[in-house]
A and B are shown apart, each in its own frame.
Chain A
């Protein structure tokens, strides 16, 4: 099957419009909003603060805790029941793991840094938007970090490796009659900006090793743009002295 032209007309390496803003939740120690197309993540960081129950305390290093949640009206179908579910818990875990490598946990022994991410509307790529938002929120909160983490999804739609799949591309068989027997691979990726080390990698679908490696190269490019957007928002918030 041939995917001739992306459904929304983008180039294969073109992200949807991205927009970032920090300081959106004034109660939080750090917060950020990250939008990519119609996917919108709001992240708030509280901490370092005391952790309860106390037996979770670690005198050697602090704990990073992530809570990802879609708002009840943020799915494109029926209302989502509020509260946690298996999907949200797994995504929370992979977000946490994607950020931990850049955070200096030894800086806050016995304490916890909580990251809450909420999505008011979604159109695929939610964990990537969540990571990009959370990374900025950590920076605003002044949590010691060696770099920002930026994230974007790549994937394969029919025969094309593309960046930043939207919902229609993830469900290509519904939206493109020519793709009736289509195959889609969805690959969310997060990278540490300077080193381009990968801190999130998941894949659902079918893809060859060659295509996966090519997709990761494409992800590097997309991540550059996400990073530039994050930095711009942070600089706007912290005007240089």
Chain B
């Protein structure tokens, strides 16, 4: 679809969008599925509008880093698959994939969402390392929120695999009943500024039009754990304050859907 940037701009001035939503509404549906992949220790598929991201958690046993001998670790990786958009090409992650992974990573890392000490099995020798892969299935805009929610949902659904008591090898096909030590539930929300107005959940066309964006990762209690500004234009301090308020409201909205999902999952 070819959309005139000016149209998006002009509509923004009137507080309107091409698809008729209010500036701060998410597209529908907002759908969360978890444990979608039996081979992952935890996994999720999140869909907002027609944007779809899958997240998978794999665990491995490694030697802890020298400066943190009592801790395991976590890494987030993102793959913008050529399957998910004609814009993406095969090959190693480009800067767009790296920024997406890093922004989601920092929200989780800086909030200390996972108690890394609890991942340690033998100090200085062996600890669990958590790898979260974020895989785009269909990029129709707002990968940041969709990927952030998918990462959290996948981590929430993850259980440790068993370890062979004799060989110490990981028995990946046998999961324990022990969930990952997820002590915080950070969620990154990205707010976009288009023609001076604040937008939630941009479509692909809106993403191509924005002046600035700010990703705000927060815990359920409102503590901010990571922030990243993007885009070509500056933001005023007033705008930043407004964005944070809006991001916290939207985080609560998505968190509510996640809670409902887990409420239902528990009753299965």
Task: Give A contacts to B, CB under 8 Å.
Answer: 24-28, 38, 40, 42-44, 46, 49, 67, 69, 71-79, 82-84, 114, 116-118, 120-123
Q: Is the CB of B138 within 8 A of A120?
A: no
Which bracket fits the contact residues of B?
35 or more
Interface flags, B152-187, vs A, CB<8A=1, else 0: 000000000000000000101100000000000000
Mark out the residues of chain B between 134 and 165 whose CB falls within 8 Å of any chain A CB in the assembled complex: 135, 137-140
Q: Is the CB of B173 within 8 A of A27?
A: no
Q: B200 at interface (Cβ–Cβ under 8 A)?
A: no
Residue from B90, B137, B173 in contact with A25 in the complex, judged by beta carbons closer than 8 Å? B137
Q: Is the CB of B83 within 8 A of A72?
A: no
Name the segment of B15-23, B33-41, B103-111, B212-220 touching the other chain: B33-41
Q: Is the CB of B37 within 8 A of A74?
A: yes
- Cα A27 to Cα B49 with chains together (Å): 12
B207 surroundings in chain A (CB, below 8 A): none
Contact flag A73-B58 (CB < 8 Å), given A25-B84, A120-B37: yes
Residue from B54, B58, B81 in contact with A78 in the complex, judged by beta carbons closer than 8 Å? B58
B90 surroundings in chain A (CB, below 8 A): 67, 84
Interface flags, B52-90, vs A, CB<8A=1, else 0: 101011101000000000000000010101111110001
Q: B50 at interface (Cβ–Cβ under 8 A)?
A: yes
Q: Is the CB of A76 within 8 A of B86?
A: no
Residue from A26, A78, A79, A122 in contact with B140 in the complex, judged by beta carbons closer than 8 Å? A26
Tell me, rounded to whole Å, the shortest Cβ–Cβ distance linking A21 to chain B: 13
Q: Is the CB of A121 within 8 A of B140?
A: no
- 27 pairs from A and B in contact (CB 8 Å cutoff): A27-B139, A28-B138, A38-B38, A42-B83, A42-B137, A43-B83, A44-B84, A71-B135, A73-B40, A75-B39, A76-B39, A76-B173, A77-B172, A78-B58, A78-B60, A79-B60, A82-B77, A82-B133, A84-B90, A114-B82, A116-B82, A120-B36, A120-B37, A120-B56, A121-B37, A121-B38, A123-B38
- Cα A210 to Cα B181 with chains together (Å): 56
Tell me, rounded to whole Å, the shortest Cβ–Cβ distance linking A169 to chain B: 15
- Cα A120 to Cα B36 with chains together (Å): 8
- 6 tightest CB-CB pairs across the interface, nearest first? A73-B56, A116-B83, A73-B40, A79-B58, A121-B37, A72-B133
Listed residue (A25, A42, A46) with the most chain B CB atoms within 10 angstroms of its CB: A25
Interface flags, B24-53, vs A, CB<8A=1, else 0: 000000000000111111010000001010
Q: B121 at interface (Cβ–Cβ under 8 A)?
A: no
Q: Is the CB of A72 within 8 A of B77?
A: yes
- Cα A120 to Cα B150 with chains together (Å): 14
Listed residue (B50, B81, B139) with the most chain A CB atoms within 10 angstroms of its CB: B81
Which residue of the partner chain B has the closest CB to A117?
A: B83
Q: Is the CB of A46 within 8 A of B86?
A: yes
Q: Is the CB of A122 within 8 A of B86?
A: no
B85 surroundings in chain A (CB, below 8 A): 27
B38 surroundings in chain A (CB, below 8 A): 38, 121, 123
- Cα A42 to Cα B170 with chains together (Å): 28
Q: Is the CB of A72 within 8 A of B137?
A: no
Q: Is the CB of A44 within 8 A of B40?
A: no
- Cα A76 to Cα B83 with chains together (Å): 23
Tell me, rounded to whole Å, the shortest Cβ–Cβ distance linking B163 to chain A: 14
Q: Is the CB of B81 within 8 A of A116?
A: yes
Q: A27-B139, A82-B77 are in contact. List 7 more A-B contacts (CB 8 A).
A: A25-B137, A27-B84, A79-B133, A83-B92, A84-B90, A118-B83, A121-B40
A38 surroundings in chain B (CB, below 8 A): 38
A40 surroundings in chain B (CB, below 8 A): 37
Q: B131 at interface (Cβ–Cβ under 8 A)?
A: yes
